[in-house]
Amino acid sequence: QKEVEQDPGPLSVPEGAIVSLNCTYSNSAFQYFMWYRQYSRKGPELLMYTYSSGNKEDGRFTAQVDKSSKYISLFIRDSQPSDSATYLCAVMEYGNKLVFGAGTILRVKS
Amino acid sequence: GAVVSQHPSWVICKSGTSVKIECRSLDFQATTMFWYRQFPKQSLMLMATSNEGSKATYEQGVEKDKFLINHASLTLSTLTVTSAHPEDSSFYICSARVTSGVSYEQYFGPGTRLTVT
């Protein structure tokens, strides 16, 4: 079993849709949770960083962490074609290295 | 967010030569930096973790004599690919971690595309 499971997609949605991206993890020791966006041939860009269970909102993005279920989500409201990218979830234990999901390819059609 | 730069953004070199890639944290100090490698349509593969002033810790299967890492200061880490071969052609990405209180945010550079001919 992988430490972090993420559906690779691709996920195709119409412009303006709400997008839901999800990851599950197996190790309850993970305490830090991040979502990255990566465009082709670019480095990953940190979108959201959370430390605890609950929701965190930043503009059109909302990150949700449920530690009891070991489940993390990223919601994108009013999706735009420019949101088309690969979205990587990442989890981390205290002071340790990031563990990435496989990445979900998102395509927003105009 | 914090900014991490990499130089060069792309490089072509001949087989057998060495290539150095620089990674800088521009607006914060990074005690810990990371080097990743990414093949097309695959996720990031961690190569090594470097801490300022100490030797890098390499992941299993990564040749430390081939991929030399130096973390000379709190804002600069370098990766040198020695005696490069075509199979070393890849996208190399560095990352720097902000350590402040309970924050362990990690920021990535734009990547360096290495082509060995």
pLDDT digits (tens, 9 = 90+) for A30-88: 999 999 999 999 999 999 999 888 999 999 999 999 999 999 999 999 999 999 999 99
Q: What percent of chain B has pLDDT over 90?
A: 76
CB contact under 8 A, B49 and A98: no
Mutate which of B27, B32, B43 to disrupt the A interface (most A C-beta within 10 Å)?
B43
Which has the higher per-residue pLDDT, A8 or B11?
A: B11
pLDDT digits (tens, 9 = 90+) for A54-64: 999 999 999 99
pLDDT confidence of residue B9: 97
Number of inter-chain CB pairs under 8 A, A vs B: 49
Return the beta strands (E) in chain A as ranges. Answer: 4-6, 11-14, 19-25, 32-38, 45-50, 54-58, 61-66, 71-76, 85-92, 99-100, 104-109
CB contact under 8 A, A43 and B105: no
The answer, for B82 touching chain A at a CB cutoff of 8 Å, is no
How many angstroms separate the CA atoms of A89 and A104, rounded?
9
The DSSP call for residue B59 is P
pLDDT digits (tens, 9 = 90+) for B7-23: 999 999 999 999 999 99
Find, in chain B, the residue whose alpha carbon is nearest to that of A32: B104
Q: Which amino acid is at B91?
A: F
CB contact under 8 A, A44 and B34: no
Q: With contacts defined as CB-CB under 8 Å, which chain B residues touch A99?
A: none
Q: Residues B39, B30: contact at Cβ < 8 Å?
A: no
Q: Which amino acid is at B13?
A: C
Q: Residues A43, B35: contact at Cβ < 8 Å?
A: no
How many angstroms separate the CA atoms of B50 and B72, rounded?
10
DSSP one-letter string for B11-28: EEE-TT--EEEEEEESSS
Write out residues 35-74 of A within 8 Å (CB-CB) of B.
36, 41-46, 49, 51
Q: What percent of chain A has pLDDT over 90?
A: 85
